[in-house]
A and B are shown apart, each in its own frame.
Chain A
Amino acid sequence: MASSDVVQYRSPARRVLEVLTVLFLAVYLIWTMLPIFVMFVSSFKDLLEAFKLPRVGDWSGIGVFFDFNPTFQHYIDLFDDNNFSTYLMNSIIASLGSALISVVFGSMAAYSLSRIEFRGKKDLFFWIISTRMAPVVAVMVPLYAIFRGAGLVGTLPGLILAYTTFNLPFAIWILKGFFDNVPYAIEEAAMCDGCNRFQAFQSILPLVAPGIGAFLVLCVLFAWNDFLFASIIGSGGAKTLPVATKELVQPQNIQWGKIMAAGVVTTLPMMFLGLLIRRYLVTGLTMGAVRE
């Protein structure tokens, strides 16, 4: 709120600037929402309606966009004909599985890393975070070779393990910052009261629980939105929603209504989750470099 409540004069130039600002915000708002809006609306259009477009330069023809009979057929088709219920299950299992593994083991590691000092701790940290930052395609080359040898390609456990490559380092890194903010004195006090070490650890859990929950959700979001791992490591037996959506695109006879419906099915839960953890989003997406 630094500069907002400083008294300022409203000169004419300032008025013009204000109008321009509002205009700019409006344009940006439209620019942000339009693709999402088009996706939603198009998912209710049937095959031909999705292709309707006014003639070039015919600005008044813009109403064509809203000229359609809403149909839920695409959503029904997706789940009836295209096996989307299986893909939805795959997506849920893979993302939730890797998120749970990452957060459980990650919080244990983060807790102990925030409580002790040892030589090489900085190097260990750098290793952890560089694992997370490594380009997915680059990681996938050896991972594919290894998983293929182990028979993990095309299976859900394989996909969960692949997602763990970016979720586990993320969880350790971000939760360590969380545990750092919890004073050791609380555990000491708990131990004075007769708790053992594990019970002392439990005693601080309520303090970090909201953060752990939020980052669990964020891990789910990262895994859910992944495409590369799912398309290569999960190809065949463990197809997830993004991959299934991409596969609806065929050289001929593209059913855009259906693809948009699949997009909505994939996107909607994540938008909801994103809003749910809005408070932790900046910290999570910047790997804890920026706190809000």
Chain B
Amino acid sequence: MELVEAIVLAVLAASTPLLIAATGELVTERAGVLNLGVEGMMIVGAACGFAGAWLTGSTTLGALCGIVAGTLLSLIFAMMTLGLAVNQVATGLALTILGIGLSGLIGAGFVGEKVTPAAHLHIPGLTDIPLVGRILFGEDAFVYLSLALLVGVWLFLYRTRAGLVLRAIGDNHVSAHALGYPVLKIRLFAVMFGGACAGLAGAYLPLAYTPFFIPGMTAGRGWIALALVVFSSWRPGLLVVGAYLFGAVTILQLHAQGAGFGIPSQFMSALPYLATVIVLVLISRARTGGSTAPAALGTVFVPDR
């Protein structure tokens, strides 16, 4: 039973950065913008988040640094793709390359340092309930925040007028423009929200997941977050299922490595990446009746005034 509890806790921790980054990207993509730079924004968020927390001694300020860094990078992306109508795929790749370089520069001075990991919630009585206590009432703030963020995004997209406008812009920017909605402005906000989430997700890694910074520590999580958005069919409800499923794959392969079934560890480490490919194939195959992607996803929009 102890082991089950430990595994669930580890799965939640491993899933949280995926969930946060994917929630942000979901909003960006729902507005019709494909930002492939999630990995780059995440890794800069990780470096800045760690730097901020190490310098100030505060996890909250560190997380804020990560958010600001991710948002700033997403602004470069917005300037290029919204302002100058540049191809979104290529710009996203450029953002990732730049992000990996920048995080190395920023983080170089912090390799080998440690910070106090994010505090876990403790409610006397509730947290001490056997089995479920620590899982429900003993997480760090990021885990609760990620779920609140997801519910907030769901409410925004499906229960507010602004959310409806955002989805309309993602499906048909020409019609939305003709109706007088500010397509580029709303897309700018959506891109910035995606950047802020990616930065926060990156900051989670050195602030709560492991209390130190390693160059390249996102290890493709930004790309997996992008795959999760596809997996979810751009719906928040399925996103949380996907994120926890991937967290589970990550943790189970770690445990399998520990147990050692005679399978080389590299094969187990490759599992999350192979699972992503397989899931993408299965989900695309199931959708033979037409795509569920926002119709204008990835296309440039130049208003004709």
Do chains A and B stick together as partners? Answer: no
Residues of B participating in the A interface, judged by any CB pair closer than 8 Å: none
Residues of A participating in the B interface, judged by any CB pair closer than 8 Å: none
